[in-house]
Amino acid sequence: MDDDLKIQQQLYDQTWQKGLNAGKEQRSNLQTNLDFLAQIDLLKTDDKILEIGCGIGTVVNELSEKNYDITGIDISQHAIDYGKEKYGDINLQVNAAEILPFEDQSFNVVLSFDLLEHIAKIDKHISEVYRVLKNNGCYLFQTPNKYSNMIFETLTTKSLKWRRAHPSLHSPRQLKKRLNKHGFNTKFVKMNTINQFTIKKLKKIGYLADFIKYINFQKMPLSLQTNLYVIAKKIN
């Protein structure tokens, strides 16, 4: 890793250690992410799958138990060590999202959840995903919608400091344009993200949470989604 990635690794090791010490194992909306994979029904049992930014490896464990051939990587050594101890014999490795240690066309599917927005060198990441995907392979991922996340983070932090942690937020239009530039056809899938995980987060913005929790986001325009769920197919 270069110096910038080493600094990033130290930051996320500290963040994971603090969160896990407080009993916080999930940093993403696990249930909706799994619902997304089930709804689109694109995974095949003979696929080779990579999850980037896997955290402690919960999604890797869920899919491994269903006999999928899946590898998980995360920049945080602390998260990977915790996941190996918790889940046992699953394939977890420490690695950054910008430089993938795999040969060209190694995977049928690449996954990530709440990762894209954290990556400063976003074009490097997407080009690496394209490289390791087989022809007609898919990058299936979720990332916060720029429009809603900017408002949420500003309200909760009462500042713009969140921009350091989220340097690559995208609107739907921006995301599609960037993915197309790298050779992906892009499709968005609307998901209703409201569950106990989301409601707990929404409490940070006070009374507005009482209104938002009753919204079915599957019926809302794409620009008003809280999170963007994406099927990006590699164009040959």
Residue 87: which of 63, 110, 53, 111 has the closest Cα?
A: 63
**Confidence at residue 156, expressed as pLDDT on a 0 to 100 scale:** 65
Taking the chain (236 residues) in consecutive chunks of 10 residues, what is each chunk's mean pLDDT?
Answer: 81 92 92 97 96 98 97 97 95 96 98 95 97 97 90 66 78 97 97 86 71 85 94 92
Report the C-alpha gap between 227 and 171 in whole angstroms.
Answer: 10
**Confidence at residue 187, expressed as pLDDT on a 0 to 100 scale:** 98
**Confidence at residue 215, expressed as pLDDT on a 0 to 100 scale:** 86
Contacts of 26 (CB under 8 A, 6+ apart): 55, 58, 197
DSSP 90: S
Side chain identity, residue 36: F
Report the C-alpha gap between 21 and 84 in whole angstroms.
Answer: 16
Asked if residues 214 and 119 have their Cβ atoms less than 8 Å apart, the reply is: no
Q: Domains, the chain, ranges and CATH?
A: 3-234 (3.40.50.150)
**Confidence at residue 159, expressed as pLDDT on a 0 to 100 scale:** 62
**Confidence at residue 158, expressed as pLDDT on a 0 to 100 scale:** 63
